């Protein structure tokens, strides 16, 4: 275990600032000083200082009337910079855009972050199956198409470690969350070169995914295609979209460096 304590290079003030920012979500878009203090686990004085600082920096705004703080659009900056500086995102863009237009289905680019996948880009279907996944969304790796595609490229031991840390649970009646079930799917990906999941998290959603590899064989990211169960049978989807998906990820594996 890494001890957060007594790390002389660690500037704790920064962590506290991010703790404040991290308390905002759909359920709590506007929060008052004490609410923030409670949720962030800081005392009043500290909360006072950090809300003040973040307000001065332009990331927080205080409603003079209600005294509640809310995030400002400036918080989009960081993500903008990431998107604009990430080689994967930039280089994958033309391929994904093309896939999206030819298939008319939702295309996503995801990476692994420990036990979760993070969505780096989304290209929505005009027919729209609007799950509320957006850029920055996180889903568990073990039951998402992208996650399985990414996991399957790791060493077995690493996968076990990830699963150990994962909170395996059922999101729908169909969710496969037992170890053996998950391993069966990982072996499937390794054998066939793509992952496929049906209604594992969102009812009605079927997704396929394939990994983008580095020259050294390591995974970089995964591309997934999601569609509605009501428009395609699973096997029809595989037939129809897997070749293009796999071809695209192959090309990307070639085209994207480091």
Minimum CB distance to its own copies, residue 230 (Å): 18
Considering the rule CB under 7 A, would residue 26 count as an interface residue with DNA? no
User: Which segment (65-73, 144-152, 185-193, 225-233) binds its own copies by CB under 8 A?
Assistant: 65-73
Q: What does 236 bind: its own copies, DNA, none (CB cut-off 5 to 8 Å by kind)? A: none
Considering the rule CB under 8 A, would residue 22 count as an interface residue with its own copies? yes
The two three-digit tokens of residue 160, written as one number:
């076990």
Three-class secondary structure of residue 180 per DSSP: helix
Contact between 211 and 196 (Cβ < 8 Å): no
Buried b (16+ CB within 10 A) or exposed e, 76-114: eeeeeeeeeebebbebbeebbeebbeebebbbbbbbbee
Task: Return the C-alpha torsion angle 172, 173, 176, 181, nearest 10.
Answer: 180
CA distance 24 to 40: 10
Among 1, 5, 43, 56, binds its own copies (CB under 8 A): 56
Please, which of residues 61-80 interact with DNA by CB under 7 A?
A: 62, 66-67
Q: What does 33 bind: DNA, its own copies, none (CB cut-off 5 to 8 Å by kind)? A: DNA
Minimum CB distance to its own copies, residue 172 (Å): 22
User: Which segment (8-16, 79-87, 100-108, 183-191) binds DNA by CB under 7 A?
Assistant: 8-16
By CB under 8 A, the count of residues binding its own copies is 61
Site string for DNA, 31-60 (x = CB under 7 A): -xxxx-------xxxx-xx-----------
Longest dimension (CA), the chain: 61
Q: What does 35 bind: its own copies, DNA, none (CB cut-off 5 to 8 Å by kind)? A: DNA
CA distance 143 to 200: 6
User: Which segment (7-15, 177-185, 224-232, 240-248) binds its own copies by CB under 8 A?
Assistant: 7-15
Q: Are strands 138-140 and 116-123 parallel, antiparallel or unpaired?
A: antiparallel
Beta bridge partners of 107: 123, 225
Among 1, 2, 3, 11, binds DNA (CB under 7 A): 11
Contacts of 106 (CB under 8 A, 6+ apart): 100, 122, 123, 124, 125, 128, 129, 225, 226, 227
Give the phi and the psi of residue 247 in degrees, each rounded to 5.
-60, -45
Please, which of residues 69-128 interact with its own copies by CB under 8 A?
A: 70-87, 90, 97, 101, 111, 113, 118-120, 123-124, 126, 128
CA distance 70 to 54: 11
Q: Write out the residues near its own copies by the rule CB under 8 A.
A: 4, 7, 9-11, 13-15, 17-18, 21-22, 24-26, 28-29, 48-50, 52-54, 56-57, 59, 70-87, 90, 97, 101, 111, 113, 118-120, 123-124, 126, 128, 130, 134-137
Q: Write out the residues near DNA by the rule CB under 7 A.
A: 8-13, 16, 32-35, 43-46, 48-49, 62, 66-67
């Amino acid at each position: 275990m890494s001890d957060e304590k007594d790390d002389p290079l660690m500037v704790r003030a920064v962590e506290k600032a991010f703790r404040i920012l991290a308390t905002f979500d759909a359920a709590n878009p506007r929060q008052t000083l004490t609410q923030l203090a409670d949720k962030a686990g800081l005392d009043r004085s500290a909360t006072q200082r950090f809300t003040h600082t973040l307000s001065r920096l332009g990331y927080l705004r205080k409603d003079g009337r209600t005294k509640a703080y809310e995030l400002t659009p400036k918080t989009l900056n960081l993500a903008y910079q990431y998107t604009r500086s990430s080689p994967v995102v930039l280089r994958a863009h033309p391929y994904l855009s093309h896939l999206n237009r030819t298939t008319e289905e939702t295309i996503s680019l995801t990476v692994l972050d420990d036990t979760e996948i993070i969505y780096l880009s989304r290209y929505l279907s005009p027919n729209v199956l609007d799950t509320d996944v957006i850029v920055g969304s996180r889903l568990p790796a073990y039951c998402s198409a992208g996650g399985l595609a990414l996991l399957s490229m790791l060493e077995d031991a690493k996968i076990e470690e990830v699963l150990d840390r994962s909170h395996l649970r059922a999101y729908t009646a169909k969710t496969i969350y037992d170890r053996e079930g998950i391993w069966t799917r990982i072996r499937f990906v390794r054998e066939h070169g793509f992952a496929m999941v049906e209604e594992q998290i969102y009812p009605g959603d079927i997704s396929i995914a394939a990994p983008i590899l580095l020259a050294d064989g390591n995974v970089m990211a995964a591309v997934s295609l999601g569609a509605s169960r009501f428009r395609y049978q699973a096997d029809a989807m595989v037939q129809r979209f897997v070749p293009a998906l796999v071809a695209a990820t192959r090309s990307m594996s070639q085209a994207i460096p480091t």
